[in-house]
């Protein structure tokens, strides 16, 4: 299992009253994929630019798709650009992939629904292992889960337990999630102002 799959299982295993925004999950999954790709040598960072390496297959369908989507010409894209591009709809891709693997029960629908409930991860050894990894305070998974408000914020230390490249990715994920929240708040204020205008 990859960090991205573990993160998806942790997020989809949360109780229904602990809502995770799909956009936040998509961004953090893209960040988890970047960390996984750093670990297998599929990419390196030059500052905050993602530089792909050639000929790396991960054996994971979604990670291999991430590898093929890397920008392979200069100027390379930044980690932030990668998060927004790769993250587009990524939460749904992981939910579908986990359902295919039997780790998320298939959805039962009656008729057409505009808004279907989020899938919930099945109780499985994979889900328990992901939750144990998070509970053990593994730095990357714990940090990504904290961005989703799906876990405790990891304690800060003077020395990072992960490398500089991973730290760069995690910082970019935090920035992107904060930016998305700001967009949501701004839209909420604009919608409230519009409704007040019509109410007179």
The model's pLDDT over 136-172, given as tens digits with 9 standing for 90+, comes to: 888 999 999 999 986 555 544 344 456 899 999 999 9
Q: Could you give the C-alpha distances from 174 to 20, 146, 192, in angstroms and in order?
A: 15, 10, 27
Res 86: pLDDT: 97
Quick one: what percent of the chain has pLDDT higher than 90?
A: 50
> Quick check: 111 pLDDT over 50?
no
- pTM of this prediction exceeds 0.95: no
Q: Which residue has the higher pLDDT, 122 or 70?
A: 70
Sign of CA dihedral 107, 111, 114, 117: negative
Residues in the chain: 200
160 is written with which tokens?
Answer: 């990072």
> Quick check: 18 pLDDT over 70?
yes
Cα dihedral 76→91→168→45 (10° resolution): -30
Q: Which residue has the higher pLDDT, 41 or 136?
A: 41
Grade residue 195 by pLDDT with cuts at 50, 70 and 90.
Answer: low
Reduced to 3 states (helix: H, G, I; strand: E, B; else coil), residue 144 is helix
Res 133: pLDDT: 86
Grade residue 192 by pLDDT with cuts at 50, 70 and 90.
Answer: low
> Quick check: 16 pLDDT over 80?
no
Instruction: Kindly give the residue spans of alpha helices, DSSP state H, lying in 136-163.
Output: 139-147
Mean pLDDT of 108-115: 38
Type and span of the H or E element at 41: none
Mean pLDDT of 177-182: 93
Grade residue 199 by pLDDT with cuts at 50, 70 and 90.
Answer: low
Q: Which residue has the higher pLDDT, 72 or 122?
A: 72
């Amino acid at each position: 299992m990859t960090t991205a799959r573990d993160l998806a299982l942790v997020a989809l295993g949360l109780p229904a009253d602990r809502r995770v925004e799909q956009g936040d999950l998509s961004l953090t999954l893209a960040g988890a994929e970047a960390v996984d790709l750093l670990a297998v040598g599929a990419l390196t960072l030059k500052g905050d630019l993602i530089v792909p390496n050639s000929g790396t297959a991960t054996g994971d369908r979604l990670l291999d798709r991430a590898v093929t989507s890397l920008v392979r010409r200069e100027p390379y894209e930044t980690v932030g650009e990668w998060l927004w591009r790769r993250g587009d709809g990524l939460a749904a891709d992981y939910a579908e992939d986990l359902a295919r693997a039997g780790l998320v029960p298939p959805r039962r629908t009656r008729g057409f629904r505009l808004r279907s409930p989020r899938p919930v991860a099945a109780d499985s050894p994979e889900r328990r292992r992901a939750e144990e990894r998070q509970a053990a305070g593994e730095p990357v998974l714990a940090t990504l889960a904290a961005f989703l408000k799906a876990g405790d914020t990891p304690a800060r230390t003077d020395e990072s337990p992960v490398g500089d490249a991973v730290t760069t990715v995690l910082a970019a994920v935090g920035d992107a999630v904060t930016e998305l929240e700001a967009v949501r708040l701004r839209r909420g204020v604009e919608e409230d102002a519009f409704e007040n205008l019509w109410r007179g």
